[in-house]
């Protein structure tokens, strides 16, 4: 009976925690915070009952010899385990029912106050609202109250970042544009081009030639010392030369194998004839040099090292003539029509941890000045080559991407697909067909768009593919628009956003301005005369200079009626019950063979692993610290053993709990609840049968 005292105690804890927590916006945050606190309290209660009570029964009955009496009756072992699980589950169900009833009563009390507060806020906001749409959320809260449940239908695609051009500018559908101050770039992945192979081949010849020069220098020192009569110095120089000879032989061998592979490949897919002939001639010379060095290493003794200089091959690598050619179009701001645009072209290594903070000194970035539509040619230089003005130095032994952007605010740069070419040695030309793609600034998994009061400016495009008219209900159609605002911006509290809806079926568009809020979504309405279902497009823009906001895929979504709030809260409480029942079944199974204290620690371990199962299996990084932790952990043999053998059989307990969005009013689909019920029932059945089989091996009767 003492366990039942935990239910009213949980209600008191729920109320005390919720009342003591401050809310930034009491109108929109009071009920979601209370629902979240209630669900967390019920989950904590389920863990306590499943961890301590479920693991106590079997060890206590064996110790008190009650099990002796039970097993002499015609009671099967599976039935015995099933009874323990069922009893714990029913106990938990009753306790959760008491807590849920108390929590719902508390919600009703808080909701009446929230509704009155919303009505007062709405009356105060009417005279000073900058846009009519700013009042929609408050009006809905005052009219309907906070105890509402909704189903959300997010956009099928988006956000896709595009450019809203100045009035009168000709828009080319085949050109992809980026705006200077937005941080967006046009990117090409060069991994499928022969660029890396060119760099490897020519770098190999450069390194081999450099090793040969180092050998010649060591030999010259030895000869000079010998002519001066300083035999110890000559001997030391010749010893160093012998080491240089072995190093040079290894480098030439690597170069020869690289060229042999390349010559074999160009035989299957030959480049232009001049390039193929150049590669074959160079490959033959490198192969001959490798054979010579291999022979020198075998046949040279310390006494004859000084004679090696006359036999060194003189292989001069063919001239490197790598370059990229790109056709780009630029548009200056309308207020500065004659100002040239500065373009930044950047090589980005495709390797973990590659940083670009010092790209200028590394030589990965060049800046060009352009007006109108021009074709730019940018030389590419090898990693070991000396710096060259206006040339991009390529990194060694890694694939790269190419990025281009405009440097100054208000300037646009656009590139058509198929207008980037790479030109290699022998004028081998390769068109880069993969790209460009636009890469936007992202922070915390959000795509950011930057504001401008004038044009051009960025727009985020969302599209609904085919929305059935039957799900839209009656009256105007509510659409929620959610943002993450840039808290560091000096103009955040004056941000103006605009959403433009486009009906592809009729070609009509509707533009609505509103003030985005960070603590609740903006609410706008579409009347049925404009859209009755089907396809729909939405374009979001920030109209405030210097400000920005972040968007997710679910930032634009239809808000549909989700049914009764009470029924949705009951489904959430039942999901917590399923979560506790699964954990209780695991606890009963563990207690069949273990003592109570050991069973408690084992059940806690199952709980921790079950809650972090997805993280362990996927090593999902959350922030820099978690990424470093995941990297170190994934290299640990213990982590690998846990992820491979121990974690997969453990249930994903987090998936059984209600989603965080339930506290915000999102309805739990009945199909999802049925799936959770079936999954929990299957796991409990497995635990009961396994526990009955395990009980056979335990001696419980004299």
Mind listing the pLDDT tens digit for each residue in 318-369? 778 888 998 888 888 877 778 888 888 888 887 654 444 444 445 678 888 8
Is it the case that residue 375 has pLDDT exceeding 90?
no
Is the distance from CB of 438 to CB of 186 less than 8 angstroms?
Answer: yes
Examine the fold and report which residue of 511, 542, 561 is the final residue of a domain before the chain moves on: 561
Residue 416 backbone class (left: φ over 0; alpha: ψ -120 to 50; beta: rest): beta
Q: Specify the DSSP class assigned to residue 480.
A: E
Q: Do 557 and 598 lie in a common domain?
A: no
Q: Which pLDDT value is given to residue 628?
A: 55
Nearest to 549 by CA among 619, 630, 666, 450: 450
Q: Do 556 and 593 lie in a common domain?
A: no
Q: Which pLDDT value is given to residue 620?
A: 46
Structure tokens at 264: 């074999």
Is the distance from CB of 523 to CB of 136 less than 8 angstroms?
Answer: yes
Tokens 């060069």 belong to: 190
Residue 637 resides in a domain: yes
Residue 186 resides in a domain: no
Q: Do 574 and 549 lie in a common domain?
A: no
Mind listing the pLDDT tens digit for each residue in 504-519? 988 899 998 888 877 7
More confident residue, 593 or 575: 575
Element (H, E) at 94: helix 77-125
As a whole number of angstroms, the distance between CA 557 and CA 66 comes to 59
As a whole number of angstroms, the distance between CA 691 and CA 639 comes to 28
Mind listing the pLDDT tens digit for each residue in 142-161? 888 888 899 998 899 888 88
Q: Residue 71's CB: how many other CB atoms inside 10 A?
A: 15
Q: Do 534 and 468 lie in a common domain?
A: yes
Q: How far is CA 484 from CA 119, 160, 339, 550, 605, in A?
A: 26, 17, 34, 5, 37
Q: Which pLDDT value is given to residue 198?
A: 85
Is it the case that residue 139 has pLDDT exceeding 50?
yes
Q: Do 67 and 117 lie in a common domain?
A: yes
Reply yes or no: is the peptide bond before residue 436 cis, omega within 30 of 0: yes
Is the distance from CB of 320 to CB of 385 less than 8 angstroms?
Answer: yes
Residue 328 resides in a domain: no
As a whole number of angstroms, the distance between CA 5 and CA 574 comes to 20
Q: Do 99 and 23 lie in a common domain?
A: yes
Q: Do 540 and 588 lie in a common domain?
A: no
CA atoms within 13 A on the CB side of 589: 20
Residue 136 resides in a domain: no
| 687 DSSP β-pair partners | none
CA atoms within 13 A on the CB side of 229: 0
| DSSP string of 436-452, one letter each residue | -EEE--EETTEEEEE--
Structure tokens at 436: 């460009």
As a whole number of angstroms, the distance between CA 377 and CA 379 comes to 7
Q: How far is CA 562 from CA 39, 110, 115, 150, 476, in A?
A: 19, 21, 20, 4, 16
Domain that holds residue 302: 195-311
Q: Residue 241's CB: how many other CB atoms inside 10 A?
A: 26
Q: Which pLDDT value is given to residue 575?
A: 93
Examine the fold and report which residue of 561, 585, 610 is the final residue of a domain before the chain moves on: 561
Nearest to 175 by CA among 163, 188, 189, 157: 163
Question: In 160-179, which positions are buried (b, 16+ CB within 10 angstroms) versus exposed (e)?
Answer: ebbbbbbeeeeeeeebbbbb
Which residues fall within 8 angstroms of residue 637, CB to CB, at 6 or more apart?
none
Residue 621 resides in a domain: yes
Q: Do 494 and 601 lie in a common domain?
A: no
As a whole number of angstroms, the distance between CA 146 and CA 30 comes to 9
Compute the Cα dihedral for 195, 198, 199, 201 and give only its sign.
positive
Q: How far is CA 589 from CA 66, 68, 75, 655, in A?
A: 18, 19, 18, 21
Q: Do 545 and 579 lie in a common domain?
A: no
More confident residue, 610 or 169: 610
Q: Which pLDDT value is given to residue 354?
A: 46
CATH number at residue 466: 2.60.120
Alpha carbon 523 to chain centroid, angstroms: 28
Examine the fold and report which residue of 265, 294, 311 is the final residue of a domain before the chain moves on: 311
Mind listing the pLDDT tens digit for each residue in 644-688? 655 566 777 888 888 888 888 889 998 888 888 888 888 888 888
Ramachandran angles phi, psi of 287, nearest 5°? -65, -40
More confident residue, 316 or 476: 476
**What is the number of domains present in the chain?**
3
Ramachandran angles phi, psi of 345, nearest 5°? -110, 125
Is it the case that residue 577 has pLDDT exceeding 90?
yes
Element (H, E) at 641: helix 637-641
Residue 702 resides in a domain: no
Is the distance from CB of 96 to CB of 44 less than 8 angstroms?
Answer: no
Is it the case that residue 492 has pLDDT exceeding 50?
no
Q: Do 595 and 680 lie in a common domain?
A: yes
Q: Do 62 and 120 lie in a common domain?
A: yes
Q: Do 552 and 601 lie in a common domain?
A: no
Residue 332 resides in a domain: no
Task: Tell me the pTM.
Answer: 0.74
Residue 681 resides in a domain: yes
Tokens 């044009």 belong to: 455
SS3 182: helix
């Amino acid at each position: 009976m003492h366990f039942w005292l935990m239910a009213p105690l949980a209600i008191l804890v729920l109320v005390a925690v919720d009342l003591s927590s401050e809310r930034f916006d009491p109108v929109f945050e009071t009920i979601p915070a209370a629902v979240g606190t209630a669900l967390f309290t019920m989950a904590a209660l389920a863990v306590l009952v499943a961890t301590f009570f479920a693991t106590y029964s079997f060890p206590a009955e064996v110790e008190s010899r009650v099990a002796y009496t039970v097993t002499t009756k015609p009671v099967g072992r599976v039935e015995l385990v099933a009874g323990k699980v069922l009893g714990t589950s029913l106990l938990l169900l009753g306790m959760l029912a008491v807590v849920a009833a108390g929590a719902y009563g508390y919600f009703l009390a808080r909701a009446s106050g929230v509704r009155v507060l919303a009505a007062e806020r709405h009356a105060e906001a009417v005279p000073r609202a900058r846009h009519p749409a700013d009042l929609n959320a408050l009006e809905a809260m005052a009219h309907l109250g906070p105890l509402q449940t909704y189903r959300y239908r997010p956009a099928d695609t988006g956000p896709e970042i595009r450019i809203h051009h100045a009035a009168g500018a000709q828009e080319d559908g085949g050109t992809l544009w980026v705006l200077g101050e937005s941080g967006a770039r046009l990117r090409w992945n060069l991994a499928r081009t022969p660029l890396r192979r060119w760099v490897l081949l020519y770098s190999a010849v450069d390194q081999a030639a450099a090793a040969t020069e180092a050998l010649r220098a060591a030999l010259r020192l030895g000869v000079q010392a010998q002519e001066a009569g300083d035999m110890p110095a000559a001997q030391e120089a010749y010893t160093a030369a012998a080491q240089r000879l072995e190093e040079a032989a290894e480098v030439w061998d690597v170069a020869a194998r690289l060229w042999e592979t390349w010559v074999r490949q160009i035989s299957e897919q030959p480049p232009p004839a001049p390039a193929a002939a150049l590669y074959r001639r160079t490959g033959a010379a490198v192969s001959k040099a490798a054979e010579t060095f291999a022979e020198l290493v075998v046949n040279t003794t310390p006494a004859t090292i000084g004679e090696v200089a006359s036999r060194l091959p003189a292989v001069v690598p063919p001239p490197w003539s790598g370059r990229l050619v790109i056709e780009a179009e630029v548009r200056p701001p309308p207020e500065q029509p004659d100002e040239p645009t500065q373009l930044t072209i950047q090589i980005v290594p495709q390797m973990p941890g590659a940083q670009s903070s010092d790209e200028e000194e590394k030589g990965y970035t060049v800046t060009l000045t352009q007006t109108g539509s021009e074709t730019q040619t940018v030389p590419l230089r090898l990693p070991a080559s000396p710096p060259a003005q206006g040339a991009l130095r390529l990194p060694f032994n890694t694939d790269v991407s190419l990025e281009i952007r405009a440097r100054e605010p208000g300037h646009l740069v656009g590139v058509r697909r198929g207008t980037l070419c790479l030109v290699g040695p022998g004028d081998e030309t390769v068109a880069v067909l993969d790209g460009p793609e636009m890469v936007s600034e992202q922070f915390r998994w959000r795509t950011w768009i930057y504001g401008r009061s004038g044009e051009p400016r960025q727009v985020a495009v969302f599209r609904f593919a085919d929305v059935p008219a039957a799900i839209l209900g009656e009256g105007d159609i509510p659409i929620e628009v959610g943002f993450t605002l840039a808290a560091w911006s000096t103009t955040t509290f004056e941000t103006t956003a605009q959403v433009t809806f486009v009906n592809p079926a009729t070609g009509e568009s509707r533009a609505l301005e509103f003030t985005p809020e960070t603590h609740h979504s903006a609410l706008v309405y579409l009347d049925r005369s404009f859209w009755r279902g089907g396809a729909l497009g939405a374009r979001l823009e920030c109209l405030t200079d210097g400000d920005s906001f972040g968007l997710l895929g679910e930032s634009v979504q239809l808000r549909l009626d989700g049914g009764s709030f009470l029924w949705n809260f009951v489904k959430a409480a039942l999901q917590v019950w399923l979560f506790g029942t699964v954990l209780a079944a695991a606890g009963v199974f563990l207690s069949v063979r273990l003592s109570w204290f050991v069973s408690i620690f084992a059940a806690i371990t199952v709980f921790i692993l079950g809650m972090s199962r997805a993280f362990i299996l996927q090593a999902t990084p959350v922030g820099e610290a978690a990424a470093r932790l995941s990297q170190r952990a994934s290299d640990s043999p213990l982590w690998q053993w846990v992820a491979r053998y121990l974690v997969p059989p453990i249930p994903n307990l987090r998936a059984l709990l209600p989603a965080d969005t339930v506290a915000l009013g999102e309805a739990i689909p009945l199909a999802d609840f049925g799936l959770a019920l079936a999954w929990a029932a299957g796991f409990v059945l497995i635990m009961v049968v396994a526990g009955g089989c395990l009980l056979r091996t335990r001696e419980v009767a004299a």
